[in-house]
Structure 1
Amino acid sequence: MQANSLDDLAAGLARNRIAGLVADLRLDGLHSKAEAAAVQTAALDAYADDFAGYVLVGTSELSRRGLGLSSPIFAPLADRALFGDGWRIHLPQGMIGAQCELAFTLGRAYPERGESIDRHSAADAILACQPAIGLLGRRVRPGTESELAAIADFALHVATVCGPLVEPADKDSLDRAVMTARIDGKTVVTAKAGTILGHPLEALVWLAQKLARHNRQLNAGDVVTIGSCAPILQVLPGQHLTVEFEMIGTASCWFD
């Protein structure tokens, strides 16, 4: 695909995200993950000036199946798309649903020079943890649903709502934390955090490895949302969603 075509796609994606609209864009013309990533980068540059970290999508088998992904995908987290607990969010066109997830805040650069990227070092790099709700959606009309299109389309990210920060007493046991999601007070799903790549810390390991291949790293203060431990939940205007993780806390938001 020609560079001007990539730029046009990126500009269109950014316009649609800002306006909350879905429109026809030829994302089926992407031929590689490198092209898809280039469109994502250009679209993010057109959408936002500041970034708070990264979002992961498709880190559990159930969420990948629902999204048609063969492996996890990720994108930088735009600061303007990160909200605090209890936020009221207008649902744009193209909504897919909500991720029930955790968010890690890095206390230092990761990995440091010469540092092994593994679960032990990931735990050491984490300063705090939060329950989170990640909203997913598309900026293109149905029919362009390939994995390359998902990568280019901001990795399907719309917005993230994070609950209060906590310092986990035992990061190694995070996989045993039970998540309960409720819509308007009614339980709709429960799941263990260990469905996220076998252990939540493995999501941070996976991202750090991906970045390291391009000579990049996570920075102190970065927020990393690690993807849903449950199927993607359909959410509708007028509903109130709460996501509670044992030993960690609760995140909630309202939808208009």
Structure 2
Amino acid sequence: MHATSLDNLAIELAKNRALGTISGLAFAGIVSRQEADEIQLAALEAYNSDVRGYALAGTSVASQRVLGLHEPIFGPITSRDFFHEDCRIHLPQGVIGAQCELAFIVGNSYPDRHEIVDLETAGEIIVACRPTIGLLGRRAFGARHSDVSAVADFGLHVATICGPAVRADWEKLDQIQLTARINGQTLVTAKGSAVLGHPLRAVALLARELAMQGRQIAAGDIVTTGSWSPILQVLPGQTLSVEIETIGKISCSFD
């Protein structure tokens, strides 16, 4: 994609995200994952918001099917789109649905140069966990859904809503259960093992991807795991509640 076209696409993505709108955008011109990453970074700069961390998507088989992904992707969690428990959010155009997930708070930059990236080293940097709801959506209509278009489109991230932070035994996170309810009715249950076999593998995967770009997860960042369950449709007037055993609860209402 020509540099001017790349910049224009990034500006339009940022505009749509700021306004909560969708439009026809030239995703078909993106020819590589590298271009998609460049568009994401340029769109983030145009959106003009600090980064609080990273949201992963497509880390479970069930969520990949809904999102049309072949592998996990990630996008920035911005300060403008980061919320705390029991909030109310207006659903913008293009919303796909909600992720029921876990967020990790990172204590140290990761990975250091030449550091081995695996479950053990990832576990060493985690200082707390938070039950989390993530909203996913698109800023374009009519585009063919693909991994590169999803990456360019802020990694499909719309909003992240986190509950209270607690310390947890990371080695057992694959064994604990998540329960999601809409307006008090249980819709789905899932275990942490649905995410790449273990939720902490999401952090390791992100660290490797960023390292290939010469970047790191920063100390203080929040990293979400991606959905443990299928992506849930949410509608105005509904309240989604997520409970993760031994971790806690989070809820969010939608307009």
Per the TM superposition, whether the score is higher than 0.5 is: yes
Report the residue type matching 1:235 in the other structure.
V
Contact 1:24–1:140, Cα closer than 8 Å, also in 2: yes
Distance in 2 (alpha carbons) for counterparts of 1:140 and 1:244: 32
Tell me the secondary structure at the aligned position of residue 39 of structure 1.
Answer: helix
* Aligned mates of 1:142, 1:136 — CA distance in 2: 17
Secondary structure of 1:111's counterpart equals coil
Q: Which residue of 1 aligns with 2:199?
A: 200
The equivalent residue for 1:46 is 46
Partner SS for 1:200: coil
Q: Cα RMSD (Å) of the superposition?
A: 0.9
Distance 1:175 1:105 in 2: 17
Deviates more, 1:48-57 or 1:132-141: 48-57
TM value normalised by structure 1 = 0.97
* DSSP-derived class of the 2:75 partner: strand
Provide the residue aligned with 2:87 in structure 1. Answer: 87
Partners of 1:218 and 1:155 lie apart in 2 by 16
Q: Counterpart in 2 of 1:21? A: 21
Encode CA deviations 1:211-240: one digit per residue, 9 max, x unaligned.
Answer: 111222112101001100110000000000
* Unaligned 5+ runs, structure 1: none
Contact 2:180 2:241 in 1 (8 A): yes
Specify the alignment match of 2:140 in structure 1.
140
Give the letter for the 2:234 counterpart: V
Q: How many residue pairs were aligned?
A: 255
**Separation in structure 1 between the aligned mates of residue 38 and residue 110 of structure 2, nearest angstrom:** 24
- Pairwise CA distance, 1:201: 0.9
Letter in 1 for 2:228: C
1:72 paired with 2:100, answer no
CA contact (8 A) 2:25 2:143 kept: no
Which residue number corresponds to residue 167 of structure 2? 167
Deviation (angstroms), 1:115 = 2.3
Q: Which 4+ runs in 1 deviate beyond 2 A?
A: 112-115
Instruction: State whether structure 2 residue 235 is matched by structure 1 residue 236.
Output: yes
Gaps of 5+ in 2: none
For the 8 Å contact 2:76–2:155, the answer to whether it is kept is: no
Q: Is the 8 A contact 1:48 1:78 kept in 2?
A: no
In structure 1, C-alpha distance between the alignment counterparts of 2:242 and 2:104, rounded to whole Å: 16
Contact 2:27–2:143 under 8 Å retained in 1:
no
* Alignment partner, residue 247 of structure 2: 248
Match of 2:59 in 1: 59
Q: Is the aligned partner of 1:112 residue 2:82? A: no
| SS of alignment partner, residue 200 of structure 2 | helix
* Matching residue's letter, 1:246: E
Alignment match, 1:214: 213
**8 A contact 2:133–2:250 mirrored in 1:** yes
TM-score by length of 2: 0.98
* Matches of 2:111 and 2:6, distance apart in 1: 32
Tell me how far 1:65 sits from its aligned partner. Answer: 1.1
Matches for 1:93-108 after TM superposition, within 5 Å = 93-108=93-108
- 1:117 aligns to what SS in structure 2? coil
Opposite residue 102 of structure 2, the aligned amino acid is L
* TM-aligned CA deviation for residue 109 of structure 1: 1.4
One-letter identity of the residue aligned with 1:236: L
> Secondary structure, in 3 states, of the residue corresponding to 1:160?
strand
Q: Deviations over 1:71-91 (max 9, x none)?
A: 000112111111000110000
Residue matched to 2:179: 180
C-alpha distance after superposition, 1:121-179 (max 9, x if no partner) = 111100100010000011101443122111111011100000000010x2100001100
- Post-superposition Cα deviations, 1:170-228, rounded to whole Å, max 9, x if no partner, equal 21000011000000000011000111010011111111111111222112101001100
- Work out the CA distance in 2 between the residues paired with 1:12 and 1:143: 14
Measure the CA separation in 2 of the matches of 1:194 and 1:142.
34
